[in-house]
């Protein structure tokens, strides 16, 4: 059957269409993506304004049309931190439902971490042993650890690259004191969670997902996306630590010229790098592998599991 997953994230609204059935690998058939930057559309009270809601509704309508055009039989719509944390989340969800018919399921941060972990486990299989999974989004950082398909520990921290850029790095390039302040903040937040994971022992394999990690790996020398999903891509902490001060001294325009860095994500890359560096350092990770599957694939796999057991 043809499934569609509609991901209303902090940076983008992404429709992923796959051909799938229980017990088989989902095969991508179509991708429709719009950069909406919901996390940056919050007003001083933490609400998404009318203009932002109108834009979201228009993007959801376009995604629905794309899903119909591609013959999607079952659409799985969900929203993450930007909608979850908006002070007017209920109003946003109600307007989207009233005007498009789409009822967005709002995932908790822990659910995001668990579903991403499921996708990573299925990608690497049981031979990967105990997994530590890191995922930097626009609004939050998810961390999960475990040896099964359900993680033993899963947390979500308000350390998304978009959120931190808006709140901590106003300059272009940012002031050195702002970069230092953000670095302290990031490490303090991550350090509070390390003990929750360390009691399970050391991971056998450390994996990262998300656009931020893919771009950091690319500028550090990993293979281009055009070389395919199955090429192994790694990010070494030593390389990342060398890149952080370079990124801090660049303007957004200069970062956008780096290999694999899109114009829309260039502004967030430094904040994302500080989060990645902090997580790798505090968890004692020297090298990690990039996984092409993440939250959207986790949502699809969970749906297929439920279909197979019905």
pLDDT of residue 310: 57
Q: Single out the residue in 84, 106, 128 at which a domain terminates.
A: 106
Find the distance separating the first CA and the last CA of the chain, reported in whole Å. Answer: 15
pLDDT of residue 23: 85
Residue 305 forms part of a structural domain: no
Q: Single out the residue in 106, 129, 158 at which a domain terminates.
A: 106
Q: Single out the residue in 106, 133, 159 at which a domain terminates.
A: 106
165, 206: one domain: yes
Which alpha helices (DSSP H) does the chain contain, by range? 50-69, 81-85, 89-100, 109-124, 161-168, 176-198, 211-219, 237-248, 252-256, 263-266, 269-282, 295-309
69, 116: one domain: no
pLDDT of residue 70: 97
pLDDT of residue 126: 96
- Predicted TM-score (pTM) of the model is 0.95
Domain that holds residue 138: 109-295
The sign of the dihedral angle between the CA atoms of 125, 150, 32, 28 is positive
127, 250: one domain: yes
Counting as low any pLDDT under 70, the low residues of the chain are 308-310
pLDDT of residue 10: 87
Tokens coding 169: 């790095």
pLDDT of residue 125: 96
Residue 309 forms part of a structural domain: no
Tell me how far apart the alpha carbons of residues 178 and 196 are, in angstroms, rounded to a whole number: 29
100, 37: one domain: yes
pLDDT of residue 40: 76
96, 113: one domain: no
Identify the CATH number of the domain in which residue 169 sits.
3.30.420.150
177, 211: one domain: yes
Residue 238 forms part of a structural domain: yes
Tell me how far apart the alpha carbons of residues 61 and 216 are, in angstroms, rounded to a whole number: 33
The sign of the dihedral angle between the CA atoms of 208, 214, 219, 223 is positive
90, 170: one domain: no
Q: How many domains does the chain have?
A: 2
Q: What is the 3-state secondary structure (H, E, C) of 245-299?
A: HHHHCCCHHHHHCCCCCCHHHHCCHHHHHHHHHHHHHHCCCCEEEECCCCHHHHH
Q: How far is CA 61 from CA 96, 110, 174, in A?
A: 9, 28, 37
Q: What is the pLDDT of residues 152-182, one digit of tens each?
A: 999 999 999 999 999 999 999 999 999 999 9
């Amino acid at each position: 059957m043809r499934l569609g997953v509609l991901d209303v994230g902090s940076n983008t609204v992404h429709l992923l269409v796959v051909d799938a059935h229980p017990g088989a690998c989902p095969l991508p058939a179509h991708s429709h993506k719009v950069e909406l930057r919901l996390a940056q559309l919050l007003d001083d009270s933490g609400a998404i304004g009318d203009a932002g809601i109108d834009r979201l509704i228009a993007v959801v309508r376009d995604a629905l049309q794309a899903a119909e055009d591609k013959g999607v039989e079952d659409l799985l719509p969900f929203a993450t931190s930007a909608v979850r944390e908006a002070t007017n989340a209920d109003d946003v969800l109600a307007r989207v439902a009233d005007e498009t018919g789409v009822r967005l399921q709002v995932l908790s941060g822990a659910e995001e971490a668990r579903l991403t972990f499921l996708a990573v486990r299925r990608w690497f299989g049981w031979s990967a042993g105990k997994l530590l999974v890191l995922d930097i989004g626009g609004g939050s950082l998810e961390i999960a650890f475990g040896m099964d398909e359900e993680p033993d520990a899963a947390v979500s921290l308000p350390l998304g690259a978009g959120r931190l850029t808006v709140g901590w790095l106003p300059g272009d390039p940012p002031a050195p004191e702002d970069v230092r302040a953000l670095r302290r903040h990031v490490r303090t937040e991550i350090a509070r969670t390390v003990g929750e994971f360390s009691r399970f022992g050391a991971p056998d394999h450390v994996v990262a997902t998300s656009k931020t990690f893919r771009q950091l790996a690319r500028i550090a020398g990993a293979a281009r996306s055009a070389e395919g999903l199955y090429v192994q891509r790694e990010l070494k902490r030593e390389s990342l630590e060398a890149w952080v001060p370079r990124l801090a001294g660049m303007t957004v325009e200069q970062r956008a010229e780096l290999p694999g860095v899109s114009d829309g994500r260039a502004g967030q890359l430094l904040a994302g790098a500080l989060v990645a560096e902090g997580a790798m350092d505090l968890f004692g990770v020297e090298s990690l592998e990039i996984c092409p599957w993440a939250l959207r694939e986790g949502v699809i796999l969970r749906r297929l599991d439920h279909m197979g057991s019905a």
